[in-house]
Structure 1
């Protein structure tokens, strides 16, 4: 089968060659079923997340031994089932996530780790959902307890997790303020009905948000969703209400912000560090319930997944470039095969 293999640490945006840290293997062994309850999935689509990029660079908190197949969330079609599998049959549409291995034509997973893609859902979109939307759902719904009428500020709002946070915020009934860079991203966010979109390349973000809050007679921001870090995150602290929740999602800026503990004390802020993948170890039921609810929202049209860029496995370096250069509005995907049949037929 076809698989993308990371042979050494380095920049995955380099053209695929001997100097690249990644290469495409066209004869990688097809994985066998590992237990009576295991399922082999022919992968249709797999999502690129910023964590995948960092992992190949060797800058992610989890560092797998070399060589490895990168990749995390995916969707596909059940190809084989173990003798003890009762939930799925060959031909079913499923999605899931894994620590490694989805940048390949096939993958084996345990039955309990797979989710049925609801009737009518796009299969490629389902492959983009678990990690980005799961991160925002767990953060906003499970941790910050975002409620109707609260003010949500989303930094990096046009990226994969940012865009998911914006949509989930709207489903929760929050007043959503989105920060993004560039006219194209700003216009896209406006088309989603975001209450305020601020272009970070133009003027003062803080003043724009304060003006909006005054006009709405709002005191401040109740939940800060931060996948960016750096100066922008530090400045955004000036906007937070008493008893606000801060969700630390990541550091796309490359700079880890310092949150003054004395101000957090006086303001009664709650700071949530959110490493989504660790829930798989410590509270797997939270992840299962979260992804299941998100899939139901997708089926009902409450959320939509914007696929910004789609590539083949042999174009993986271009896919990583789209992530690195922040070209994406929404998700970057690697797809396998043709796209003629990509909607669930359950």
Structure 2
């Protein structure tokens, strides 16, 4: 089988396309013939050795896959070869085959597109955990989503609306903001033309948002946090800007505000029952049309480096997938 491999840490152009033996499942695992694997900013960080997960070299990036079960390991009874599944694998997905823990696999109906299924688990799981669980976002509150046109950002826009919030989307171009509006945003902020603090004040009657969802970090964090409302909750989701910001803690004191960490991967390990319940609710929202995962581009396996470069350069709207 073919796989994208990281032999030494560095930028995406250092990745290689290798021919490897077919994978064999260990006890409690399945091997999946990958039909679609998503590309996330975390994949860029992991190959550059800037992520909390550090698999031993060499490895394949790619955290989410959808495909068909090829083989099952000892003790696996719920899944059978030939079943369609989606799985969170943490790494190893950018390949023709991937190994996954059986309990990390969710069976797919026959009519579920593989690319849409793969695009769902990490982004929507992260955003639901952030908004519904960590922030306890309530109907009628105001949510500001930074980096709103990216994968997790667009998911946050949709989930915020599903929870009954008023959603303000912030992104770096009119084209990206147009996609946010299509997915439910009530108001927008364009980083390229708007003063962030002035625009937040204008859109909230100077009260500030109740919840801020930040997967970007960098230069936007402090001005956004200075604009948060009384008892606001600032969700630390990621650092797509590349810079981990530092905040003066007196700002939290003055607003009675909370800085709330969001680590979905650890949450799924420590609280799997709550995560399962979240996906039950979100599945219902998909059926009702409240959630519409958006895949904007497909790449061949040979184009994985380009896909990662596009993610790193913030040229991506929604989600992109690799189709081996």
Relative to the length of structure 1, the TM-score reads 0.88
Aligned residue for 1:141, secondary structure, equals: helix
Aligned residue for 2:60, secondary structure, equals: coil
1:33 aligns with 2:25: yes
Pick the aligned partner of 1:24 from 4, 7, 17: 17
Matched residues in 2 for 1:159 and 1:195: separation? 17
- Alpha-carbon distance, 1:101 to partner: 1.1
Compared CA separation, residues 110 and 257, structure 1 to 2 (3 A): closer
Instruction: Identify the residue that residue 194 of structure 1 maps to in structure 2.
Output: 185
Compared CA separation, residues 54 and 29, structure 1 to 2 (3 A): same
- Alpha-carbon distance, 1:169 to partner: 0.5
Matched residues in 2 for 1:25 and 1:231: separation? 39
1:247 aligns with 2:240: no
Instruction: Identify the residue that residue 91 of structure 2 maps to in structure 1.
Output: 100
Matched residues in 1 for 2:4 and 2:54: separation? 17
Relative to the length of structure 2, the TM-score reads 0.94
Instruction: Identify the residue that residue 158 of structure 1 maps to in structure 2.
Output: 149
1:269 aligns with 2:262: no
1:315 aligns with 2:303: yes
1:146 aligns with 2:137: yes
Pick the aligned partner of 1:90 from 73, 81, 97: 81
- Structure 1 segments of 4+ aligned residues over 4 angstroms from their partners: none
- Alpha-carbon distance, 1:29 to partner: 1.6
Gaps of 5+ in 2: none
Matched residues in 1 for 2:101 and 2:29: separation? 4
Aligned residue for 2:112, secondary structure, equals: coil
Give the paired residue count.
324
Equivalent pair of 2:157/2:167 in contact (CA under 8 Å): yes
Question: Greater shift after overlay, 149-158 or 236-245?
Answer: 236-245
Alignment RMSD: 1.8
1:291 aligns with 2:282: no
Equivalent pair of 2:4/2:17 in contact (CA under 8 Å): yes
Matched residues in 2 for 1:158 and 1:321: separation? 17
Instruction: Identify the residue that residue 5 of structure 2 maps to in structure 1.
Output: 5
Correspondence 1:101-116 to 2 at 5 A = 101-116=92-107
Instruction: Identify the residue that residue 114 of structure 2 maps to in structure 1.
Output: 123
Aligned residue for 2:232, secondary structure, equals: strand
Instruction: Identify the residue that residue 175 of structure 2 maps to in structure 1.
Output: 184
**Which string of whole-angstrom CA distances, capped at 9 and with x for unpartnered residues, describes residues 118-143 of structure 1?**
46432211101111111111010111
- Alpha-carbon distance, 1:84 to partner: 4.1
Question: Greater shift after overlay, 86-95 or 63-72?
Answer: 86-95
- Alpha-carbon distance, 1:299 to partner: 3.6
Question: Greater shift after overlay, 263-272 or 227-236?
Answer: 263-272
Equivalent pair of 2:32/2:99 in contact (CA under 8 Å): yes
- Alpha-carbon distance, 1:82 to partner: 4.3
Compared CA separation, residues 277 and 32, structure 1 to 2 (3 A): same
Gaps of 5+ in 1: 15-19, 337-346
Matched residues in 1 for 2:66 and 2:134: separation? 27
Matched residues in 2 for 1:148 and 1:200: separation? 27
